[in-house]
Structure 1
Amino acid sequence: MARTLSGAIPDSTSPFLMMASHAAGDGEALKRRFQNAHANVKSSEHARKAAEVALAAEQADWADTFLHAAASSPHAAATTARRRWYAGDMNGAVQALEGRPGNMAKQQRRLSSELSVFEGWRPSLKTAVSSSRNNRVLHLLTNSLPHTGSGYARRTHSILTAQQAVGWETLAVTRIGYPVQIGVLTAKDTDVVDGVTYQRLLPGKMAKTMDGRLQQQTEGLLAVARDFKPSVIHTTTHFVNGLVAGEVAHAIGVPWVYEVRGQLADTWASTRGAESRNSERYQLFMEREAETMRRADLVVTLGEAMKHNIVAAGIPEEKVLISPNAVGGDYFSVPMSQQDARGVLGLDAGLLYVGTVSSLVDYEGIDDLVTAFALLAPRLPRLRLLLVGDGTSAPALRTQVQRLGLAGKVVFTGRVPAEQAKLYHQALDVFVVPRKDLSVTRSVTPLKPVEALACARPVVASRLEALCEIVHDGVTGRLAEPSDPVGLSEVLLELLEDEGLRKRLGAAGRQDVLATRTWSANAHAYAQAYSAAISNHNRKAS
């Protein structure tokens, strides 16, 4: 629908049609509408709405242009606040709404609340020390199966099932309001998936501010903890989860673990340019993350690159455990052949396939993969590109494919279930991780290439520190320079023209993953680390 609307009345400056062009990923149409609107500003309110669309499209320069023309709009302060908030000027955003009436006053209260959390606010509880039971771990999560199928949710589920297999009783609690907040209006209080219980915190009424909701969440988690009696509490990034878990752990007198799965401050900055790393929001975000790691009894992370950053933030090295992304279950079975997997998926078994299973977001560099494929397609008529997943970049990628005349050779599957994602891994001849060179991608190790290697498929990845921990160049796959589609196409061509090389690299990759990256091994490492944290905690308390 967005693509249809984007092509309608191409010279129109309607904010609605601007938003349609953005939703369709039609950057050229959006640029044209912005230019026409700038040349023919109808009113200050029209300019303000165009600024709102520009912010939604992450085009800050256009937002500034339209805000200048929107100065006399009675609602200009609301958009100015959003512009400052977007740039990380949190105090500036709050100040822009000072003394404003109605909805703008409500907006200021919301922003002020979030600012206070970033500035160091913490929930409060009365001490409620109760007996704990051995080998019980309470997990606090941002999201989970069956309502979210992200790498985060799947990593969590793998950890929980593996911990249960080695003798730990688990209970997972998701953030307050989830999954109703993502549209699952019929959500139950609990879901049980593969024997793992996910408990929801669904109050009759949610607080309207961030600090209010976090206080509600802390009290809700405390009630669960007093009933479950865990010997340790385990949570994950980002720091607001640590605020809640740490306070509850302190109240009931048990240690807590903070698992750093990403650098969300860098993820936020990656869409805003280098200057955003000097912003108030970025600095406060990093301070709160470091503070959370210092307060935790144990810090867990995914790889050496992330551990290096954690230690650089002042966390003692001996306090940090690496628990890498891993595989288990069906991945131990002998992988299907490409032909068999393609048969199940309805793909042509006689073609060659490269591609990825990933969130389709800017930093993943899928646009570079599409460009590299465009260079290869004329030389390899049997070659096809598989893009499995969805995300904010999907509309722009579809537009790029159309513009390059590749529509008949590129398959967009959209989001697929985990079991089907494994089939797509096995259907590929080469799995590609073309990530951009950004702070977040240099440090964070993704799960999908590990699963591809376990399926005995060679992986071509960007030459980034985090990916070099997974893909050993010339041994389990190949490395290519990030943001270099020509170089990527040359590396892919070498593999696509040599089936024997693909099989050798794939076999070596599977052997390496099964030897070094399993959820069972991670679960045993967690158990040892938990025991040490409990002993240290009890010693300090005595």
Structure 2
Amino acid sequence: MSILRNVRLAATTIADHLTEAPFVLALQILRRLPSTIVRPAASGLASLAPQSSSAALLLASHAAGDDAGLERRFENALRRGPTPEHARKAAEVALAAGRTEWADRFLSRATESTQLAATTARRRWYDGDMTSAVDVLRGQPGNASKQRQRLESELRVFQGWRPSLASTSMQPEPRRVLHLLTNSVPHTGSGYARRSHSILSAQAREGWEPLAVTRLAYPVQIGVLNARDTDVVDGVRYQRLLPETMAKSMDGRLQQQAEELLQVAREFRPSVIHTTTHFVNGLVAREVASALGIPWVYEVRGQLADTWASTRDPEAKSSERYRLFTEREADVMRSADLVVTLGESMKRNILAAGVPEERILLSPNAVGGAYLDEPLTHAEARSALGLDSDALYIGTISSLVDYEGLEDLVTSFALLAPRLPKLKLIVVGGGTAAPALRDQVRRLGLIDSVLFPGRVPADKAQLFHQALDVFVVPRKDLSVTRSVTPLKPVEALASARPVVASRLDALQEIVHDGVNGRLGEPSDPVGLAEVLFEMLEDDGMRRRLGAAGRQHVLATRTWEANAKACVQAYEVLASNHTRRAS
């Protein structure tokens, strides 16, 4: 029966996207499929009609990473004078691909389309003009009316709506903690999921009993139709909230999630609830903890309003969405009994939001498990991966998104390749920037020297760390990158590999110039190439910096140390709540 339930949940999600945003759905599906399948298929489809500007072929060009081909098709469409409906669909594709300048040009040609309001609303929503997007849809029939209701619901949440739960009696069980997560292993292999699993495992080793509960309808909503109600990974239990039916609106789903989480918590009887960014998790955890009369912890892993703004024009930071997003995050942080975060840069932002310093705990990205073992040699790791043992390798393991600055890394590699004939570049991971990066490599004639393995399991990621001569973090200078400390360079240092990173506050908490790596100016591929050249020419320097990096990480950044500090804080919170209750 569970498979039938899961199919119904997935079908509901697909149906909602098909009626409201079919092109966004198509791109999401394509991004989840292996690039080794998607890119050749999309390229083949695009080659069948190189001059066509149909919506399907526009999508195919984007999925194939053919930016030049996409531009050409957009230009052809405008030159031929598209019908209003064709122009609207082209605007939808452009918007789904983040090409707002083209979306605006096509929308100006779509004024007579009967569905113009829906696309105009999506365009305004993209810019963060939430109220205006809702207003555009007022009085519109059919699917546009459903779209308005959905956007109104999300706007209510951003404006301060919260779930409503009645107080209920429960006797907490000591040394039990319930974690509310957005996603998790084994279905998601992101840094978020891996950090969560490392924390849960380490807390279990400290004598606590953790239970992780993931968001409503996960992982069915990401396409895992055979999902079970419970997964156990390395002894850690992950419980899923998979209802027979799901509310249509955002506030309705959060209310449903809060009610289901409350039921789980009453059965599990935790003494603490712990959740993570972003604020919707906090809304649910706060109300469940309040209903049960127990403390709750909010873990700030990112500046997600800034992450959203980083993919848009600078004006996004003046938008309604950005303002409401930051207000809700600040409100949730201030109401938590304890705020956990990754580093000093993020701590400063939390202090600025009005959280007292005594309610903030640092829990940096760290390592454990196999990373504590002596790393393999370069030759051993390369042999395991089928790589050339005599080559020089630079690269990164990352989410392939714009703010990571990976186009600068490719440019730097292009400058270095003629000077270092044995040099290779490895870019491990997936994300929205992957097609453009592959296209850049193709245009520079570097296909034979650059490897894109895609997303890989954790054990294989560790092999890639050990295969590299230098790990590179070329992040752009943005609010989000100045504050958020990533996990992957910590793992590289634990692997005794030096790191070259952009000179940003958050990265300088990890990389100490001349001690365990080098720093360069962000968005300066020429300067980055020179720093890399110096390191690649000096094997002794690389080994010295790598050894120092591993020693420092093992002394200061382990999941065991984090877990000890966190469960001590849990004990204090639970004890204080018990005294207040009595």
TM-score (norm 1): 0.99
1:366-413 deviation digits (Å, cap 9, x = unpaired): 111111000011111111111111111111111111111111111110
Contact residue 110 and residue 208 of structure 1 kept, 8 A: yes
Within a 5 Å distance, the mapping from 1:107-506 to structure 2 comes to 107-506=147-546
* Shift, 1:13, TM fit: 1.9
Q: Secondary structure at the match of 2:445?
A: coil
Paired position in structure 1 for 2:26: none
Q: State which of 86, 90, 93 in structure 2 corresponds to 1:46.
A: 86
Alpha-carbon distance between aligned partners in 2 of 1:22 and 1:245, rounded to the nearest angstrom? 39
Paired position in structure 2 for 1:25: 65
- 2:120 pairs with 1:80: yes
1:341-387 deviation digits (Å, cap 9, x = unpaired): 00111111111111011111111111111110000111111111111
Q: Which residue identity is paired with 1:286?
A: T
Q: Secondary structure at the match of 2:120?
A: helix
Alpha-carbon distance between aligned partners in 2 of 1:428 and 1:49, rounded to the nearest angstrom? 44
More deviation, 41-50/24-33: 24-33
Q: Secondary structure at the match of 2:376?
A: coil
* Shift, 1:19, TM fit: 1.3
* Shift, 1:202, TM fit: 0.1
Paired position in structure 2 for 1:63: 103
Q: Which residue identity is paired with 1:436?
A: K
- 2:569 pairs with 1:529: yes
* Shift, 1:10, TM fit: 2.8
Contact residue 5 and residue 17 of structure 1 kept, 8 A: yes
Alpha-carbon distance between aligned partners in 1 of 2:156 and 2:256, rounded to the nearest angstrom? 16
Q: Secondary structure at the match of 1:34?
A: helix
Q: Secondary structure at the match of 1:200?
A: strand
Contact residue 261 and residue 302 of structure 1 kept, 8 A: yes
Alpha-carbon distance between aligned partners in 1 of 2:421 and 2:215, rounded to the nearest angstrom? 49
Q: Which residue identity is paired with 1:6?
A: A
1:199-235 deviation digits (Å, cap 9, x = unpaired): 0000001111111110110011000000000000000
Alpha-carbon distance between aligned partners in 2 of 1:415 and 1:252, rounded to the nearest angstrom? 40
More deviation, 32-41/374-383: 32-41
Alpha-carbon distance between aligned partners in 1 of 2:169 and 2:485, rounded to the nearest angstrom? 38
Alpha-carbon distance between aligned partners in 1 of 2:81 and 2:299, rounded to the nearest angstrom? 50
Q: Which residue identity is paired with 2:328?
A: R
* Shift, 1:443, TM fit: 0.4
Q: Secondary structure at the match of 2:448?
A: coil
Contact residue 272 and residue 294 of structure 2 kept, 8 A: yes
Q: Which residue identity is paired with 1:47?
A: A
Contact residue 6 and residue 26 of structure 1 kept, 8 A: no
- 2:170 pairs with 1:98: no
Alpha-carbon distance between aligned partners in 2 of 1:5 and 1:95, rounded to the nearest angstrom? 38
Contact residue 24 and residue 396 of structure 1 kept, 8 A: no
Q: Which residue identity is paired with 2:179?
A: H
Contact residue 25 and residue 393 of structure 1 kept, 8 A: no
Alpha-carbon distance between aligned partners in 2 of 1:7 and 1:446, rounded to the nearest angstrom? 39
1:95-153 deviation digits (Å, cap 9, x = unpaired): 11101111111111111110100001101111012100111000000000000000000
* Shift, 1:41, TM fit: 2.2
* Shift, 1:532, TM fit: 2.0
Q: Secondary structure at the match of 1:175?
A: strand
Paired position in structure 2 for 1:36: 76
* Shift, 1:20, TM fit: 1.3
* Shift, 1:77, TM fit: 0.4
* Shift, 1:63, TM fit: 1.1
Alpha-carbon distance between aligned partners in 2 of 1:348 and 1:62, rounded to the nearest angstrom? 43
1:270-327 deviation digits (Å, cap 9, x = unpaired): 0111100010000000000000001110000000000001111111111111100000
Q: How many residues align?
A: 542
1:17-72 deviation digits (Å, cap 9, x = unpaired): 11111122222111122222222223110110111011012121221111111111
Q: Secondary structure at the match of 1:395?
A: helix
Contact residue 234 and residue 256 of structure 1 kept, 8 A: yes
Q: Secondary structure at the match of 1:69?
A: coil
Q: Secondary structure at the match of 2:299?
A: strand
Structure 1: runs of 5+ lacking an equivalent: none
Alpha-carbon distance between aligned partners in 1 of 2:78 and 2:127, rounded to the nearest angstrom? 22
Q: Which residue identity is paired with 1:456?
A: A
Contact residue 345 and residue 483 of structure 2 kept, 8 A: yes
* Shift, 1:5, TM fit: 2.9
Alpha-carbon distance between aligned partners in 2 of 1:497 and 1:171, rounded to the nearest angstrom? 49
Alpha-carbon distance between aligned partners in 2 of 1:8 and 1:315, rounded to the nearest angstrom? 58
* Shift, 1:441, TM fit: 0.6
| CA-based RMSD | 0.9
Alpha-carbon distance between aligned partners in 2 of 1:516 and 1:143, rounded to the nearest angstrom? 27
Structure 2: runs of 5+ lacking an equivalent: 1-40
Alpha-carbon distance between aligned partners in 2 of 1:500 and 1:334, rounded to the nearest angstrom? 19
More deviation, 120-129/30-39: 30-39
More deviation, 10-19/154-163: 10-19
Contact residue 82 and residue 109 of structure 2 kept, 8 A: no
Alpha-carbon distance between aligned partners in 2 of 1:32 and 1:347, rounded to the nearest angstrom? 37
* Shift, 1:266, TM fit: 0.6
Alpha-carbon distance between aligned partners in 2 of 1:341 and 1:39, rounded to the nearest angstrom? 53
Contact residue 94 and residue 111 of structure 1 kept, 8 A: yes
Contact residue 494 and residue 549 of structure 2 kept, 8 A: yes
Q: Secondary structure at the match of 2:447?
A: coil
Contact residue 189 and residue 201 of structure 1 kept, 8 A: yes
Q: Secondary structure at the match of 1:49?
A: helix
Contact residue 171 and residue 198 of structure 1 kept, 8 A: yes
Alpha-carbon distance between aligned partners in 2 of 1:541 and 1:86, rounded to the nearest angstrom? 46
Q: Which residue identity is paired with 1:334?
A: E
Alpha-carbon distance between aligned partners in 2 of 1:291 and 1:538, rounded to the nearest angstrom? 25
Contact residue 158 and residue 324 of structure 2 kept, 8 A: yes
Alpha-carbon distance between aligned partners in 1 of 2:525 and 2:76, rounded to the nearest angstrom? 33
More deviation, 531-540/471-480: 531-540
- How much identity, in percent, do the aligned residues show? 70
